[in-house]
Amino acid sequence: MSNSSKTIDPNLISRAVFASLVNLRQAILQQQSNIDISPIDSKVVSCIESVLTSMKALRYVENPKTLSDITHNIWKTYITDFLSLIEYVYILVSDQFQQIFNSIVKVYASINFPSIFRDDTVYAHDLFFRIFDLLSLPAIMTLLKNQSNDQLMPHVANILRILLLQTQNIAEEILFKKDDLLNRESAVQSLLEYVDMNIFEASSDIQLTIVEVLGFIWTLVDNTILVPQLLDAKCASFTLKWISMNEVSVTIQLTSIRLLYNMARHEKGCAALNEANAILLLQQFKKRTLDPNSEDATYEDMRLLFSMAIALLTEPKESKSDAKSLGKVLNQLMQLTVNTAQKKNHKYGDFDISEPLVVLTKLFVHDDIVKYIVKDSQVKNMKTSSKIAFFCDLVLQFRGALANDDELDQLTLTALMNIIWSISFHEKYADELKSNAKFLFTIKSLVNDDGEAWVEQYVPKHMSSVRKAAAGILWNIDENNPAKIVRPAELTAAVDNRTNDSTMAAVGNKRLRVMISYSHADADFCHQLANALEKENIFDIWVDFAYCHTEDLWEEIGQAIEQSDVVLFLMTKDYQDSKSCRQEVMYAKDSLKKRFIPVYVKRDFAATGWLGVRIVGPQYIRFGKKTFEATVKELVKLIIEDTTEKSSTKKDSKAPVVDSSVKAESNENEKSDRDLTKEEPENSPQNNQKITPVAVNNSKPIKIWNSNDIFNWFDTNKIRPELKEMYDFHSGTELLLYAQCLQQDWESEYLDIREQFSKRYGVVLYRNEFVRFVSVIKILEPLQTKPVSSTCTIV
């Protein structure tokens, strides 16, 4: 290349190219239109040659970014100004004219895009959407509507495939933002409609185009932050339709289940899919497609994607049977995690290591699944001594994620920290965590890491930040943690007395200390409730958004719980899934034995698992049945009256009693309670049965009963089997604790269980049926060999 050629102004080259294109279009418009075959006019041929000559000069454009911009504008001009000339199709499909297309492709292929994107990710992001916007040009949209000229269709389809392939390549280099598809949803929907219209079309051109369209859609959905806008483009609807079809190709099946899995990674995607009955459709797909091909390696990825999608969409109950039924899925997730961990780039096939880890974080809100993964999951080729050591080693590998801008590395570290936080709630695993010196040093450093390099990305709401998870782990495994200190009975009594004295003083002075524990997903409701309680001017309300101003978040929350007269648990599914909330409940109830009031934020939520077993007994409040203001008044009354009652006296009763002066349920519930006997038919066999409680396993201490012993006890005493399923007691200790708590207010508990029972089974649980349960559970306490603490605390 000569020196003179290097000094050619790229602007001059660009102007020459576009001038020749303008001349060509004018020459075409002067030709005869709407004819099938005609020799191309010599003037048109001359203009085509002029275009080709001017484009050859593009090789002298040295700056790859400049060349990329010129080429992009040539594409836009070619599609807009030439492919719209349908009446001159004989020229557009001619060999002479196609030389222009081939020349554009050649220039495009010569550009060193990786070097551009490596140095300028902002430019890569901009170019991606400039190419994306070409899809909305009339010629492309006409193709997507199946309205292209038959002769021109293969050519337009080829251009569409080139553009889609280029966008997929660029997508690997950029970070998407949550509003990137805003006002572009219609273009995405047009692509989906094209696939839907042509899904059984035999044309090779169409099938090749479908493959690229689906690849492009997958690229978008794989960036979870974009899922809400893809839902607006009806991505979920089309995908569920395709997964339900018979006789579709393996490519369509694999892509469909891949899209469903990726959409399920976002809460909004998960909600949309569940609303559309995706679990049933996936199960039918499994029965129809996966089961008959269980030995076919072609379907291996499909089976894994199916398992991961089901894991994200379903909400397994907290029981050992569920952990075992999920065993195969959990084994697959752990094996995929191990496989990706052993790859240099932490990718195995199409999966990044962050993907199985994020699925595990959702499942790890269930204790039995944690135990299964840590103890029983079947994994090959794991190089560490234990599963806990494996997760700890991964934390050490990804420690530097907060210092770079790799969003997948940051998501991986976040997921790992949340997984280990879930593990740290189990004391039997704490010693292994504490014995890993490198891990502990890393965790302590992460507590103080401000994560300045954190990039904008979607993180599931059930996952806490790295810093918060690190603090939570240290809190759980620290022997000096106040929650770990075992209090002698005398000291506990003294603490209770001091609390009662301060509470009585607070009531007298109209200032009670109320701490509100809530999930940040329910922050709006918490603000509303805190403001309403403040207006009463008789409480000192402590809530983290008003008082946490230092880096020692857990220390401040712990002090607030210690100094409070009552703690309000704002219970929702998000609350139950939150490790932070679990930590607060355990400290307040298990360690400090603080008085608390369960507050159901939503009408249809029922606490289960670790939360359900801890909130039985105390009077509760449920919002949603009456107006917000009326329910707040009931809560205020309960805080004051229950405080006064607990501070002044503790009554022992030989039969279940309820204090009619303290009613937290709505008038509707009170009326319902008064009319319960009217619901029971006079000829009901239950009304004529004499309740004769029967104990089983007299030779075996009740505290060490297992699930089978408890099931036998339910059956022997003729308690409704549905109650056995609903309570799902795992040990005799749980049964005894519930028996003690039930005595405090069995009627309110009946109202709640009756509502849950009706929703779950569609039939009424009559009061005399629940009274049978209350009566027979009451005789268990005298039968135990050693008294259980009357505080109903799970230890």
pLDDT tens string 64-106: 999 999 999 999 999 999 999 999 999 999 999 999 999 999 9
Confidence of residue 427 (pLDDT cuts 50, 70, 90): confident
On whether residue 739 sits in a domain, the answer given is yes
What is the structure's pLDDT at 167? 94
Provide the residue type at 565 as one letter. Answer: D
| Window from 159-168, 481-490, 705-714 with minimum mean pLDDT | 481-490
For residues 170-180, average pLDDT:
89
What is the structure's pLDDT at 57? 93
The last residue of one of the domains, among 145, 175, 205, is: 175
Confidence of residue 202 (pLDDT cuts 50, 70, 90): confident
Q: Do residues 441 and 531 share a domain?
A: no
Question: Which tens digit of pLDDT belongs to each residue from 689-747?
Answer: 444 445 554 567 887 888 888 888 888 888 888 888 888 887 888 788 787 767 656 76
Q: Do residues 49 and 171 share a domain?
A: yes
Q: Is the pLDDT of residue 480 over 60?
A: no
The count of structural domains within the chain is 4
For residues 205-210, average pLDDT:
94
What is the structure's pLDDT at 782? 54
Q: Do residues 65 and 166 share a domain?
A: yes
3-state percent breakdown (helix, strand, coil) of the chain, nearest 5? 65, 5, 30
Contacts of 770 (CB under 8 A, 6+ apart): 723, 746, 750, 753, 754
On whether residue 392 sits in a domain, the answer given is yes
The chain-wide mean pLDDT, for the chain, equals 82
On whether residue 501 sits in a domain, the answer given is no
Phi, psi (5° rounding) for residue 586? -60, -40
d(CA 507, CA 539): 9
Provide the residue type at 665 as one letter. Answer: E
Q: Do residues 21 and 117 share a domain?
A: yes
For residues 299-321, average pLDDT:
79
Beta-ladder partners of 596: 567
Q: Do residues 475 and 527 share a domain?
A: no
Q: Buried b / exposed e across 98-109, counting CB within 10 Å, b at 16+?
A: eebbebbeebbe
Q: Do residues 378 and 478 share a domain?
A: yes
Q: Which long-range contacts (CB under 8 A, 24 or more apart) does 368-371 make?
A: 368/318, 368/319, 368/320, 368/322, 368/323, 369/316, 369/322, 369/323, 369/326, 369/330, 370/422, 370/423, 370/425, 370/426, 371/323, 371/426
Beta-ladder partners of 348: 351
**Number of alpha carbons in the 13 Å side-chain half-sphere of residue 544:** 19
Q: Do residues 461 and 563 share a domain?
A: no
Q: Do residues 45 and 93 share a domain?
A: yes
For residues 359-371, average pLDDT:
89
Q: Do residues 446 and 518 share a domain?
A: no
On whether residue 101 sits in a domain, the answer given is yes
On whether residue 97 sits in a domain, the answer given is yes
Find the CATH number of the domain harbouring 593.
Answer: 3.40.50.10140
What is the structure's pLDDT at 789? 39
Maximal C-alpha separation, the chain: 109
d(CA 240, CA 256): 8
What is the structure's pLDDT at 342? 93
Which of helix, strand or coil describes residue 513? Answer: strand
The last residue of one of the domains, among 146, 175, 204, is: 175
CB atoms within 10 A of CB 402: 19
Q: Do residues 432 and 546 share a domain?
A: no
Question: Which tens digit of pLDDT belongs to each residue from 636-655?
Answer: 988 887 555 555 444 443 33
Confidence of residue 663 (pLDDT cuts 50, 70, 90): very low
Range of the domain at 623: 512-642
Q: Between residues 119 and 335, which one has the greater pLDDT?
A: 335
On whether residue 201 sits in a domain, the answer given is no
Percent of all residues in the chain with a pLDDT value above 70, rounded to a whole number: 81
On whether residue 790 sits in a domain, the answer given is no
Q: Do residues 391 and 441 share a domain?
A: yes
**Per-residue CA distances from 743 to 481, 589, 654, 721 (Å):** 33, 18, 9, 22
Q: Which long-range contacts (CB under 8 A, 24 or more apart) does 4-9 make?
A: 5/60, 6/60, 6/62, 8/57, 8/60
The last residue of one of the domains, among 619, 642, 665, is: 642
Q: Do residues 520 and 432 share a domain?
A: no
Name the pTM for this structure.
0.69
d(CA 628, CA 510): 23
Q: Buried b / exposed e across 758-792, counting CB within 10 Å, b at 16+?
A: eeeeeeebbbebbbbbbbbbbebeeebeeebeeeb
- Quick check: 218 and 258 in contact, CB under 8 A? yes
On whether residue 121 sits in a domain, the answer given is yes
- Quick check: 514 and 533 in contact, CB under 8 A? yes
What is the structure's pLDDT at 77? 96
